[in-house]
Structure 1
Amino acid sequence: MRDVLTLKRVTSWTILLFFALFLALPIGKVLLTALTVENGGFASNVLQVLDQKWQISFLNSLKFSLIAASCSTLLGFFLAYGNNFTNLGPRFLKVNTGILQFPMLLPTITYGFVLIYAFGKQGLWTRMLQQEWFNIYGKIGILLGFIIYTLPPIFILINNSMNYLDNRLFVVSRLMGDSWWQSLYRTIISPLYRVLAVAFLQGFFMSFTDFGIPSAVGGQTPFITTLLYDGFMGTIPDFQYGSVVALTMLLPSIISILVLNYLQKKVVRYEKPQNLLLKNNSVRDWAFRCLFILTSGFILGVFLVLLVIPFLTNWPFNLQPTLQNFTTFLQDDSLLMTLKNSLLMALLTALVGTIFAYFAAIMTSRERKVYKVNQLIDSVSTITNSIPGMVLGVAYLLIFTSTGLHNTLMILVIVTVVHYFATPYQMAKEALQKMNLNWENTAKLMGDRWIATVWRILIPNSKVTIVDMFSYYFFNSMVTISAVVFLTSANTMVITAKLKELQHFGRFNDIFMLSLFLLLINLVMQLITHLIKRRLTNEKENTRFTGMHSLNPIIRRLQQR
Structure 2
Amino acid sequence: MKNKLSLKQLTNWVVLFFFLLFLAIPLIKIGLTAFPFAQGGDFAQFSQIFNQKWQTAFSNSLWYAVLAASISTILAFLLAYGNNFTKIGQPFLMINSSILQFPMLLPTITYGFVLIYAFGKQGLWSKLFQHQLFNIYGSIGILMGFIIYTLPPIFILINNAMKYLDARLFLVSRLMGDSPARTLKKTIFEPLYRVLAVAFLQGFFMAFTDFGVPSAVGGQTPFITTLLYEGFMGTIPDFQYGAMIAITMLLPSIISIIVLNHLQKKIVRYEKPQRVVLKTNKLRDWGFRLLFLTTSGFLLCIFLILVVIPFTTEWPYRIQPTLVHLTRFLEDDSLRLTLRNSLTMAVSTAVIGTVLAYFAAILTSRERKTGRLHNIIDSISTVTNSIPGMVLGVAFLLLFGGSILHNTLAILIISTVVHYFATPYQLAKEALQKMNLNWENTAKLMGDRWIDTIRRILIPNSKLTILEMFGYYFFNAMITISAVIFLTSANTMVITAKLKELQHFGRFNDIFMLSLFLLMINLIMQGIIQLLKRSLTNHEQKTSFRLSLLHLVRPLLRRLQQR
TM tier relative to shorter chain? over 0.9
Relative distance call for 1:404 and 1:41 in structure 2 (3 A) is closer
Partner Cα distance (1:21, 1:103) in 2:
34
Partner Cα distance (1:233, 1:526) in 2:
34
Aligned to 2:372: 372
Aligned to 1:337: 337
Aligned to 2:559: none
Contact 2:170 2:276 in 1 (8 A): no
Partner Cα distance (1:37, 1:317) in 2:
59
Q: Does 1:521 align with 2:510?
A: no
Contact 2:341 2:494 in 1 (8 A): yes
Partner Cα distance (1:271, 1:442) in 2:
29
Q: Which amino acid aligns with 1:472?
A: Y
Residues 249-290 of structure 1 show CA distances to partners (whole Å, capped at 9, x for unaligned) of 000000011111111122222233311331110000000000
Q: Does 1:328 align with 2:315?
A: no
Contact 1:168 1:275 in 2 (8 A): no
Q: Which amino acid aligns with 2:299?
A: I
Contact 2:163 2:273 in 1 (8 A): no
Deviation of 1:50 after TM superposition, in Å, equals 1.4
**Structure 2 residue matching 1:320: 3-state secondary structure:** strand
Q: Which amino acid aligns with 2:484?
A: V
Residues 22-54 of structure 1 show CA distances to partners (whole Å, capped at 9, x for unaligned) of 000000000111111599843331111111100
Q: Does 1:353 align with 2:353?
A: yes
Contact 1:174 1:180 in 2 (8 A): no
**Structure 2 residue matching 1:164: 3-state secondary structure:** coil
Partner Cα distance (1:175, 1:286) in 2:
27
Deviation of 1:546 after TM superposition, in Å, equals 10
Q: Which amino acid aligns with 1:109?
A: I
Contact 1:37 1:45 in 2 (8 A): no
Q: Which amino acid aligns with 2:404?
A: G
Q: Does 1:294 align with 2:294?
A: yes
Relative distance call for 1:49 and 1:276 in structure 2 (3 A) is closer
Q: Which amino acid aligns with 1:470?
A: F
Aligned to 1:278: 278
Residues 191-218 of structure 1 show CA distances to partners (whole Å, capped at 9, x for unaligned) of 0000000000000000000000000000
Root mean square deviation, CA, Å: 1.5
Deviation of 1:87 after TM superposition, in Å, equals 0.5
Contact 1:215 1:226 in 2 (8 A): yes
Q: Does 1:477 align with 2:494?
A: no
Deviation of 1:171 after TM superposition, in Å, equals 3.2
Partner Cα distance (1:412, 1:276) in 2:
47
Q: Does 1:414 align with 2:414?
A: yes
Partner Cα distance (1:58, 1:173) in 2:
45
Partner Cα distance (2:546, 2:371) in 1:
31
Aligned to 1:552: none
Q: Does 1:449 align with 2:449?
A: yes
Q: Does 1:538 align with 2:543?
A: no
Contact 2:412 2:487 in 1 (8 A): yes
Residues 192-251 of structure 1 show CA distances to partners (whole Å, capped at 9, x for unaligned) of 000000000000000000000000000000000000000000000000000000000000
Aligned to 1:557: none
Residues 342-382 of structure 1 show CA distances to partners (whole Å, capped at 9, x for unaligned) of 00000000000000000000000001231211110000000
Q: Does 1:114 align with 2:104?
A: no
Residues 149-187 of structure 1 show CA distances to partners (whole Å, capped at 9, x for unaligned) of 000000000000000002331232133121111110111
Relative distance call for 1:269 and 1:546 in structure 2 (3 A) is farther
**TM-score in terms of structure 2 length:** 0.95
Contact 2:69 2:150 in 1 (8 A): yes
List aligned pairs for 1:133-144, cutoff 5 A: 133-144=133-144
List aligned pairs for 1:55-70, cutoff 5 A: 55-70=55-70
Aligned to 2:462: 462
Contact 1:4 1:449 in 2 (8 A): no
List aligned pairs for 1:70-469, cutoff 5 A: 70-469=70-469
Relative distance call for 1:4 and 1:311 in structure 2 (3 A) is farther
Partner Cα distance (2:388, 2:180) in 1:
41
Residues 510-531 of structure 1 show CA distances to partners (whole Å, capped at 9, x for unaligned) of 0000000000000000000000
Partner Cα distance (2:351, 2:450) in 1:
21
Deviation of 1:541 after TM superposition, in Å, equals 1.1
Partner Cα distance (1:4, 1:543) in 2:
40
Partner Cα distance (1:314, 1:9) in 2:
62
Contact 1:120 1:126 in 2 (8 A): yes
**Structure 2 residue matching 1:237: 3-state secondary structure:** coil
Relative distance call for 1:297 and 1:404 in structure 2 (3 A) is same
Residues 498-550 of structure 1 show CA distances to partners (whole Å, capped at 9, x for unaligned) of 000000010000000000000000000000000000000111111237999xx
Contact 1:169 1:187 in 2 (8 A): yes
Contact 1:38 1:45 in 2 (8 A): no
- Structure 1 range deviating more: 369-378 or 333-342: 369-378
Relative distance call for 1:211 and 1:547 in structure 2 (3 A) is farther
Residues 281-327 of structure 1 show CA distances to partners (whole Å, capped at 9, x for unaligned) of 00000000000000000000010000100100110011010000000
**Structure 2 residue matching 1:133: 3-state secondary structure:** coil
Partner Cα distance (2:313, 2:197) in 1:
47
**Structure 2 residue matching 1:19: 3-state secondary structure:** helix
Relative distance call for 1:244 and 1:425 in structure 2 (3 A) is same
- Structure 1 range deviating more: 220-229 or 159-168: 159-168
The percentage of counterpart residues that share the same residue type is 71
Q: Which amino acid aligns with 2:34?
A: A
Deviation of 1:5 after TM superposition, in Å, equals 7.1
Aligned to 2:34: 34
Relative distance call for 1:189 and 1:439 in structure 2 (3 A) is same
Partner Cα distance (1:504, 1:236) in 2:
17
- Structure 1 range deviating more: 307-316 or 264-273: 264-273
Q: Which amino acid aligns with 2:9?
A: R
- Structure 1 range deviating more: 88-97 or 32-41: 32-41
Q: Which amino acid aligns with 2:263?
A: L
Partner Cα distance (2:154, 2:37) in 1:
42
Partner Cα distance (2:42, 2:289) in 1:
58
Partner Cα distance (1:516, 1:272) in 2:
42
Q: Which amino acid aligns with 2:66?
A: L
**Structure 2 residue matching 1:304: 3-state secondary structure:** helix
Partner Cα distance (1:59, 1:136) in 2:
20
Partner Cα distance (1:337, 1:316) in 2:
29
Contact 1:170 1:184 in 2 (8 A): no
**Structure 1 residue matching 2:6: 3-state secondary structure:** helix
- Structure 1 range deviating more: 360-369 or 325-334: 360-369
**TM-score in terms of structure 1 length:** 0.96
Partner Cα distance (2:107, 2:294) in 1:
23
**Structure 1 residue matching 2:401: 3-state secondary structure:** coil
Partner Cα distance (2:382, 2:38) in 1:
36
Partner Cα distance (2:3, 2:532) in 1:
35
**Structure 2 residue matching 1:542: 3-state secondary structure:** helix
Partner Cα distance (1:409, 1:102) in 2:
27
Relative distance call for 1:4 and 1:475 in structure 2 (3 A) is farther
Partner Cα distance (1:506, 1:39) in 2:
43
